Structure 1
Amino acid sequence: MQLKFYLLSGLFLLSFLGGNSEILVLISCPTAQPLAEQNCRALRENLRQQQLAAAFPQDYVIKVHIMYELFNYWTLLDALPHLQGQTRLLNAHTEWIIWCQHNTHVSSLRVLLEQLQQQNSQELAYYGHALYDAEATIVHHFAHYKNPTWFPYPMLSAGIIFTGPLLRSLAELVAINASKRHSEFAIDAAHELARYLFDNLSPNASGKLKAPYNSVNGKGGAEDGTDGQMLQHKIILKSAAYICPRANVSPSLSSPSSASLSPKTTDVPCLLHAKPETSPTVLPADLVANGRKVVETASCLHTTSSHMYFAIKTCAKFHKERIPIIERTWAPDARQRKYYSDVADASIPTESTGIPNVETGHCAKTLAILQLSLKDISEQMKWAERQGQGRQSIRWLVVVDDDTLLSVPRLSALLSCYNHSAHIYLGERYGYRLYASDGFNYLTGGAGIVFSLPLARLIVKRCSCPTIAAPDDMVLGYCLHALGVPALHSPAFHQARPQDYSPTLLQLIPPISFHKLEHTQPVHTYRHWLGGAYDNTSLGLTPGAAARATTSNYDLGLLKMHVASGFEAASKHLDL
């Protein structure tokens, strides 16, 4: 059999001539994040080496493609029209699509294809490692709120496998009805994919769900997972034993030439699994030796808390309730911190922003905090220089809420490999109306947002608020989108509480932040999930300090109006 190898931009093909079946291995890769891009290229090269070294089970054309997550491609749904349309990677001959992330590992592509041969490629189905919610959560739009524990959604970093018919049907549906979403907000691509499939396609021959299927007896239903007959008319993730959250691979399978699995084998090894992210608490080996900095790499710069300025947004009614929690947990690691409030309180101390407190949004207050923080940073640097201490090197401005818990050491290590002299906007990314021309990505304020100082100065100069109570994080995201600054996502930041996320995901990527204190034990969260060791007991917690928190219900009317009116010219101030 003749073998041909093709290397194209972001894509290589390995063609065993004579076969019409195609396998698409897609690597979804974040942009503007060098370490993730290195992982994507390494995965592609590993797959190429496996294909060159192994004898595959039948005639295949295998496509391996790196898809960069431009704008809205990270949602997965919004990337499908691109794959089927412009690139034509997804076509009538595609039998299987193996969807990987930058931190997915494929231990044996050949054995994986042998496993897929035992499954029906013409079925409308998809396979992965199933995750489940323990309770209804805001990050999943409170889906199946009566009983969310039955609904499976895939662990993206472990990899997902789609049949060709399913992904083609899904791509066609998204292309003709892009706005049919449960919410205008994109948060968790994996859960939103699973819910979209569940609600809009059925496993019949055509795949299209022409009309809602009603429960026969009127009791229960798909909403709470109790109506088995109804669920037969739905597409639900199929859990695959060979797709795992972590490595559990036999050494014999680490080589492409390993023996094939018997179809009757019950102990299936992990053929696809997620690779743990490099622990943010550990710096690269060439940065640290014996506890001391030795040398800095070309791409990473040793960063500590002394290089970060923490601006903490608070208000008078939470001074006694929330600030003691911060002081007892992560504050000792954040020496350069300041509390910005609606009133000045010398006993803490807090600095007044001059902006009255509002119940939601806080846009004007956040912009005032950025201005005051930059002024304070400048004064600190000048003072240090006058004292003969050299120019103090504050590189980053971190803006957080007063109910945000942080791991400062992990954040320091993460920032070591970002260029502080560039326009860096880093945190947890959400999307708003990403299926439409007026959509944009933004970073959630509660998870904490990291700004490089050049970017903070640009924001103060070019961005403004439509109203005092406009949603600050969304306004900043829209403004920076207009200015061409991407929202850089790190899965270590969290807008919600630990119980709102799968423990499997939290164990894979050491968390940097959590938000909201209600129904939590903040000190336990800090110690257990954020690796905290400090406990400043000199500041006592007030009774019920962690029992209350406010819920923001943003009025996006003004924001929509400004989005619809289009962006201002680049030379003008962006009034949002």
Structure 2
Amino acid sequence: MYIKMRVLKIREISPNFEKYLLVDEYSEVNFDNFENFGSENIFIGYALKDKEPTIIHHFGFNLPESFEYPLLSSGILLSADIVNRIEKTKSNMKLPSFFIDAQHELAEFLYTNLQIKLTHFPESFCTFSNKIRSSKCFVTSQKSLSISTISEDDIHIKIKTHHGNHKTRIPIQKKTWTSNLKNLEYCSDFEDISIPTIDLKLGNTQRGHCAKTWGIMKRFNGSKWLLIADDDTLISWSRLKIFLSKYNPEDRVIIGERYGYGFDYDGNRGYDYPTGGSGMIFSESAIKSLLAVCPNCSSPDDPDDMMIGMCAQLADIPIIHSKSLHQARPEDYAEEYLDSQFPISFHKFTDTDPIKNYEMYLKTDKINDEL
């Protein structure tokens, strides 16, 4: 749905074009391979399809099993007549409260309200893999890693947990990504020296965990970056350090898998927030600014990630989206979508094999093996 709002804004700024190409920072465009593609009713890209009903797409209710949606980094081409139809229908359409996956939500809106289906055109709108097989790629989803990295000392990791998960979730984390990390704390409601955990003296809530997250932020000191993760979040430690090398830790910035809440079509209401399960990354200056405008939660069980989004908006701190951070399990994403990136995180140990997921998607022995 973010995309649909952006399309309307682009239409206001550039009203006289026949077509609009939507891309992201992972897209490579070769205009020498641009084709006509027609002039009307154009909704073209590289089609994705869910492997199974997934929570990130509201389990596909009211959509056919064959429903397809575009991979944004491979490019989405829209004709002006479709953009005009979106503009004409927007006042009659009720927006959802939550905005999760823009590329899916655009396709769902066009299918449900305008009866327009995506045209799959893999010869011109290419993934990283099929670029090798096609010399006609107009837009290609790029997949690359920097050779730069940051020091392990530049990141503090704090994992939210409670006593009921000490013997279930934490052993899985130690078998996968946390066993050799220096600047790591398990932040709990009970001190267990065998792990070890620390007791934040804040108790535990069944949901929200806002007080716990604020306690963690107040505890943070002495590093350039803070990563807050759930006790059922898996992280690729080497990729995270590479990823953060692209950012200036002196900037006020929050990074995560960005969701949205409460937006209207003009973008004048609502706010972005970093999903907690994907891992939330803060620069030190962002933490200071957040705590300055929101020194405490209004309630201990407020949703911590949404409260961060509201406070970040008040403090004018940008929420930066990374598609490599994931709020859900690998099974919840299309295979080609995961193939278009180097994943940094996944979330949830329920109805999945977290150790297998870590080995398959996140484990890296040598950085150069991936370049």
Which residue pairs with 1:165 in the alignment? 81
For 1:80, the aligned partner's letter is V
For residue 126 of structure 2, the aligned residue among 244, 258, 278 is 244
Which residue pairs with 1:98 in the alignment? 21
For residue 3 of structure 2, the aligned residue among 55, 67, 76 is 76
Would the alpha carbon gap of residues 171 and 445 (structure 1) be closer, same or farther in structure 2, given more than 3 Å must change?
same
Instruction: Give unmatched runs, 5+ long, in structure 2.
Output: 367-371
Partner deviation per Cα, 1:44-71 (whole Å, 9 max, x = no partner):
xxxxxxxxxxxxxxxxxxxxxxxxxxxx
Which residue pairs with 1:235 in the alignment? 116
Which residue pairs with 2:61 in the alignment? 144
For 2:348, the aligned partner's letter is K
Distance in 1 separating the partners of 2:131 and 2:290: 48
User: Is the counterpart of residue 411 in structure 1 residue 240 in structure 2?
Assistant: yes
Which residue pairs with 2:290 in the alignment? 459
User: Is the counterpart of residue 129 in structure 1 residue 129 in structure 2?
Assistant: no
Which residue pairs with 1:112 in the alignment? 34
Paired residues for 1:273-352 under 5 Å: 273-279=139-145, 282-284=146-148, 302-352=149-199
Secondary structure at the counterpart of residue 494 of structure 1: coil
User: Is the counterpart of residue 501 in structure 1 residue 330 in structure 2?
Assistant: no
For 2:338, the aligned partner's letter is L
Which residue pairs with 2:318 in the alignment? 486
CA contact (8 A) 1:130 1:152 kept: yes
Whose relative contact order is higher, 1 or 2, with alpha carbons under 8 Å and at least 6 apart?
2
Which of the pair has more CA radius of gyration?
A: 1
Distance in 1 separating the partners of 2:318 and 2:28: 27
For 1:329, the aligned partner's letter is T
Which residue pairs with 2:369 in the alignment? none
For 2:195, the aligned partner's letter is I
Partner deviation per Cα, 1:476-506 (whole Å, 9 max, x = no partner):
1100111100101111100000011112121
Which residue pairs with 1:517 in the alignment? 349
Which residue pairs with 2:277 in the alignment? 446
CA contact (8 A) 2:131 2:140 kept: no
Distance in 1 separating the partners of 2:129 and 2:18: 26
Partner deviation per Cα, 1:359-396 (whole Å, 9 max, x = no partner):
1101111101111233xx4xxxxxxxxxxxxxxxx211
Secondary structure at the counterpart of residue 331 of structure 1: coil
Which 4+ stretches in 1 moved above 2 angstroms? 94-109, 171-174, 246-250, 267-278, 457-462, 531-534
Would the alpha carbon gap of residues 434 and 333 (structure 1) be closer, same or farther in structure 2, given more than 3 Å must change?
farther
Secondary structure at the counterpart of residue 520 of structure 1: coil
Distance in 2 separating the partners of 1:485 and 1:460: 12
Give the percent of matched residue pairs that are identical in Structure 1 and Structure 2.
34
Would the alpha carbon gap of residues 512 and 247 (structure 1) be closer, same or farther in structure 2, given more than 3 Å must change?
closer
Distance in 1 separating the partners of 2:134 and 2:311: 50
Q: Normalization by structure 2: what TM-score? A: 0.91
Secondary structure at the counterpart of residue 350 of structure 2: coil
Secondary structure at the counterpart of residue 162 of structure 1: strand
For 1:366, the aligned partner's letter is T
CA contact (8 A) 1:308 1:397 kept: yes
For residue 272 of structure 1, the aligned residue among 138, 157, 174 is 138
For residue 155 of structure 1, the aligned residue among 46, 71, 75 is 71
Q: Normalization by structure 1: what TM-score? A: 0.60
For 2:229, the aligned partner's letter is V
Partner deviation per Cα, 1:403-438 (whole Å, 9 max, x = no partner):
000011111111112111221211111111122533
For 2:141, the aligned partner's letter is K
Offset, 1:335: 1.7
For residue 371 of structure 1, the aligned residue among 218, 222, 229 is 218
CA contact (8 A) 1:304 1:413 kept: no
Structure with greater helix percent: 2
Would the alpha carbon gap of residues 333 and 490 (structure 1) be closer, same or farther in structure 2, given more than 3 Å must change?
farther
For 1:448, the aligned partner's letter is G
Would the alpha carbon gap of residues 330 and 249 (structure 1) be closer, same or farther in structure 2, given more than 3 Å must change?
closer
Would the alpha carbon gap of residues 197 and 318 (structure 1) be closer, same or farther in structure 2, given more than 3 Å must change?
same
Would the alpha carbon gap of residues 333 and 171 (structure 1) be closer, same or farther in structure 2, given more than 3 Å must change?
farther
Partner deviation per Cα, 1:161-191 (whole Å, 9 max, x = no partner):
12221121113323x34x622x211111110
Offset, 1:102: 2.8
Distance in 2 separating the partners of 1:101 and 1:453: 27
For 1:444, the aligned partner's letter is T
CA contact (8 A) 2:29 2:140 kept: no
Distance in 1 separating the partners of 2:239 and 2:180: 11
Distance in 2 separating the partners of 1:419 and 1:450: 13
**Aligned Cα RMSD in Å?**
2.2
Instruction: Give unmatched runs, 5+ long, in structure 1.
Output: 1-73, 202-233, 251-266, 285-301, 378-393, 535-576
Offset, 1:130: 0.5
Distance in 2 separating the partners of 1:358 and 1:274: 45
Distance in 1 separating the partners of 2:197 and 2:291: 21
User: Is the counterpart of residue 474 in structure 1 residue 306 in structure 2?
Assistant: yes
Secondary structure at the counterpart of residue 173 of structure 1: helix
CA contact (8 A) 1:526 1:532 kept: no
CA contact (8 A) 1:304 1:409 kept: no
